[in-house]
């Protein structure tokens, strides 16, 4: 009988894109036995939280008792690898003495110091990440940019790039907006991080030329501002509905101010949608065309709406480039190599 290598995934922020990312890691390393220990973001449910890809799932409340439960689980399960996801879980778990460094893998899913918070706070986040970097054997960045940052902390030999992939899309019918104008959309939590203000300002400038749609929900005040500007807001929904709405777009316009490589962009690419991207480091690292400010976005969207050949081709080609780089085979090879390395290290 072959005993499978056991991987315990830990996430404090299990909801939204993190759910899809972890699920894709498990699906692309199915020869290993995967377990999940997590707290859920109840308002960010994607419908994948009870996925059968895990051998077992342990959902807990977000409190100090969770640490005690985690310790007991690690003792009883004795996993070969402990894969920690997101910055808050990364900070907490790498401080816990019962999580051995030689078994620990950390994936930030977007470093906290890349946010638009107060400068001093960002410096603190940066220093915390630097100090804690030695408390995991590997940092597995969700994309080339995150891997490059990790390399500056612990060296190239202890970093891995896990390209984000979206997995198979559910077979659903497109949901179209009841309008005659071209529909330009963004998917994600309505928040500063997802650049709701960037999306809002761009839509106001192009009102009457295109219909803008936000697929998702979030901060109620920000959601109201979007609606007041004539933007269609779907509210939060499961992944199948998200894909239905993405399928009904004429162009996908991703406006996030910071994050790892977003799953929604990968889904839009899989659907072969024309795409316009706001400039953030993960896109720049892969040399994808982007727009740096609202005025640039307005200019390019105007050109696309006017069917100008250069911009039409550029927006269409982004999907092709992303699909080529973010291949399932690339992710599968990286994960298998990573988990086997951890197993080898823990045996020595």
Quick check: is 178 in a domain? no
Shared domain for 38 and 54, answered yes or no, is: yes
Quick check: is 60 in a domain? yes
Shared domain for 18 and 65, answered yes or no, is: yes
Rounded to an integer, the average pLDDT of 81-107 is: 94
pLDDT at 51: 60
Shared domain for 331 and 320, answered yes or no, is: no
Quick check: is 124 in a domain? yes
Rounded to an integer, the average pLDDT of 130-158 is: 92
pLDDT tens digits, 15-51: 666 887 898 899 999 999 999 999 876 555 555 555 6
Shared domain for 260 and 157, answered yes or no, is: no
Rounded to an integer, the average pLDDT of 276-295 is: 96
Please state the separation of Cα 205 from the chain's center in Å.
29
Shared domain for 334 and 253, answered yes or no, is: no
- Count CB-CB contacts under 10 A for residue 309: 8
Shared domain for 189 and 91, answered yes or no, is: no
Nearest Cα to Cα of residue 278 among 347, 170, 149, 186: 186
Prediction pTM value: 0.79
Shared domain for 225 and 339, answered yes or no, is: no
Shared domain for 56 and 189, answered yes or no, is: no
Q: How many domains does the chain have?
A: 2
Shared domain for 212 and 67, answered yes or no, is: no
pLDDT at 21: 84
Quick check: is 177 in a domain? no
Segments forming the whole domain that contains residue 253: 183-325
Shared domain for 314 and 334, answered yes or no, is: no
Shared domain for 213 and 310, answered yes or no, is: yes
Confidence band of 110 (pLDDT split at 50, 70, 90): confident
Quick check: is 174 in a domain? no
pLDDT tens digits, 155-211: 999 999 999 888 789 999 999 999 999 999 999 999 998 999 999 999 999 999 999
Confidence band of 318 (pLDDT split at 50, 70, 90): very high
Q: Which of 51-55, 83-87, 129-133, 312-316 has the highest mean pLDDT?
A: 312-316
Pairing of the two strands 56-59 and 33-40? parallel
Quick check: is 1 in a domain? no
Who's near 347: CB < 8 A, 6+ residues apart? none
Q: The tokens 């390399």 sit on which residue?
A: 151
Q: What is the DSSP string of 125-149?
A: HHHHHHHHGGGSSEEEESSHHHHHH
Q: Please state, in angstroms and rounded to a whole number, the distance separating the CA atoms of residues 91 and 95.
A: 7
**CATH number of the domain encompassing residue 16:** 3.40.50.2000
Quick check: is 73 in a domain? yes
């Amino acid at each position: 009988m072959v005993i499978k290598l056991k991987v315990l995934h830990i996430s404090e922020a299990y909801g939204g894109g993190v759910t899809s990312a972890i699920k894709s890691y498990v699906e692309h390393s199915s020869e290993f036995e995967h377990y999940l220990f997590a707290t859920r973001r109840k308002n960010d449910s994607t419908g994948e939280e009870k996925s059968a890809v895990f051998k077992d799932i342990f959902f807990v409340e977000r409190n100090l008792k969770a640490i005690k439960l985690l310790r007991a689980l690690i003792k009883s399960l004795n996993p070969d690898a402990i894969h920690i996801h997101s910055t808050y879980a990364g900070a907490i778990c790498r401080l816990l003495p019962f999580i051995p460094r030689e078994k620990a893998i950390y994936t930030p899913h977007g470093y906290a110091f890349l946010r638009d918070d107060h400068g001093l706070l960002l410096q603190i986040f940066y220093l915390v990440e630097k100090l804690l970097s030695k408390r995991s054997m590997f940092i597995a960045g969700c994309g080339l940019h995150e891997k490059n940052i990790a390399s500056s902390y612990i060296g190239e030999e202890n970093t891995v790039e896990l390209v984000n992939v979206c997995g198979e899309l559910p077979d659903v019918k497109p949901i179209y907006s009841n309008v005659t104008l071209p529909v330009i959309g963004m998917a994600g939590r309505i928040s500063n991080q997802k650049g709701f203000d960037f999306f809002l300002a761009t839509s106001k400038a192009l009102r009457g030329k295109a219909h803008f749609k936000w697929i998702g929900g979030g901060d109620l005040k920000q959601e109201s501002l979007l609606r007041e500007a004539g933007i269609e807001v779907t509210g939060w929904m499961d992944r199948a509905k998200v894909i239905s709405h993405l399928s009904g777009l004429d162009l996908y316009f991703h406006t996030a101010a910071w994050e790892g490589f977003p799953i929604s962009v990968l889904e839009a690419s899989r659907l072969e949608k024309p795409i316009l991207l706001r400039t953030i480091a993960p896109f720049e690292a892969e040399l994808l065309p982007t727009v740096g400010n609202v005025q640039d976005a307005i200019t390019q969207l105007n050109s696309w709406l006017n069917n100008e050949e250069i911009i039409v081709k550029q927006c269409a080609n982004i999907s092709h480039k992303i699909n080529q780089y973010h291949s399932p085979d690339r992710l599968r090879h990286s994960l298998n190599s990573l988990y086997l390395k951890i197993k080898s290290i823990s045996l020595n």
